[in-house]
Homo-oligomer: A and B are copies of this chain.
Amino acid sequence: MLFFENDYSEGAHEKILSRLLETNRVQQIGYGNDEYCQSAKEKIRAACQCPDADIYFLVGGTQANATIISALLGPCEGAVSAVTGHINGHEAGAIEYTGHKVLALPSHDGKMDAGELEKLLKDFYADPTHPHMVHPGMVYISHPTEYGTLYTKGELEAISKVCRAYEIPLFLDGARLGYGLMSPGTDVTLPVLCQYCDCFYIGGTKVGALCGEAVVFPQKSPKRFFSQIKQHGALLAKGRLLGVQFDTLFTDNLYLEIAAHAIKMAQKMKKGLEELGYSFFLDSPTNQQFILMKDETLEKIKDQVRYSFWEKPDDTHTVIRFATSWATEEKDVDALLALLKQYA
């Protein structure tokens, strides 16, 4: 079975496992105060060129989103998100569970438009009944988006400018950040994110770790954020598990290297599919590729390859997603293309 269903189907990069073994019996204090967490934070600050950043390690993406968003929002405030944002559809209401509304803007291939954001904010304050409404209190974007697309530096700057004009924080969900940073042609880097965002996280779970997301506050973290992590059930007694992983990922450029591999595999797959005449649902420069397939083709390949169902645009076609990852082997991409060639 070929496995392109997602980017979290294997364990962790072997260097991480080695490092876990190596440090296993070293005794450390708990709750993220161990030396591995400290070292990982220093390395991330260096990679971000942001020596004063506050950094925390959380376990997963939904958890990071709920903990961060509820910490950034004030009373009667909501998070503005593209309608396709992960927080708006795929987190079982985790944001609302913290008492806050998600305010949806249109999606442009998964992205938010700075102009539409500005209009929402301007219209909100222009409406005399706005004290009866949910206040747009922050902006949530993802990079890469849920559709694998990327913001340019200019687009981030434009969104950030609107946020700062209205004094609301900009938060970037980087569950797949590595794959965004290594996409060919992108001008968005970790220092760029530190410049424009008030908070972002560097996704580990989908980029080579067993679990873990590194949350970066370039300026400063919200009041009592450590206690809020605890309150959200997001504080590991053995914080070292996250520290060791991120320390390894940020040693010798491992994080970016393995992300680059996934991109290389995705590009090869994309080129192959184009050559085979497949249509794409949209143009993704990262590790997720969305392909329009005939249902009859799907029927034929379904026992040989795992993919994600995305949507049904009509009665005879389906949009599916193939994802590569740090763990994808080139021979599997070749095999997929060979398989599809039979039905092209």
Chain B residue contacts of A25, Cβ below 8 A = 10-11, 327
- Closest residue of chain B to A241 (Cβ to Cβ) is B210
State which residues 13-69 of A face B: CB under 8 Å: 14, 17, 20-21, 23-30, 59-67
Most chain B C-beta atoms within 10 Å of own C-beta, residue among A14, A17, A61, A237: A237
**Contact (A62, B17) CB under 8 Å given A10-B26, A25-B327, A96-B99:** no
Partner among B30, B66, B133, B227 whose Cβ is within 8 Å of the Cβ of A75: B227
A166 to chain B, nearest CB (A): 15
Query: Is A233 engaged at the interface, CB distance under 8 Å to the other chain?
Result: yes
Give the chain B neighbours of A74 by CB distance below 8 A.
223-224
**Residues from chain B with Cβ under 8 Å of A322 in the complex:** none
State in angstroms the CA–CA spacing of A17 and B14 once bound together.
12
Is B92 a contact of A134 with CB atoms below 8 Å? yes
Partner of A129, one of B23, B90, B98, B236: B90
CA A64 to CA B236, docked complex, whole Å = 12
Interface size class, chain A: 35 or more
A226 within 8 A of B: yes
A91 touching B237, Cβ below 8 Å: no
Q: Which of B11, B23, B70, B211 contacts A23 (CB 8 A)?
A: B11
12 residue pairs of the A-B complex, CB under 8 angstroms, read A9-B28, A9-B30, A11-B25, A11-B238, A14-B24, A60-B236, A67-B233, A75-B227, A99-B99, A133-B227, A211-B238, A232-B233
Contacts from A to B (Cβ < 8 Å): 1, 3, 5-6, 8-12, 14, 17, 20-21, 23-30, 59-67, 70-71, 74-76, 78, 89-94, 96-102, 128-129, 131-135, 205-206, 210-211, 222-224, 226-228, 230-238, 240-241, 306, 309, 327
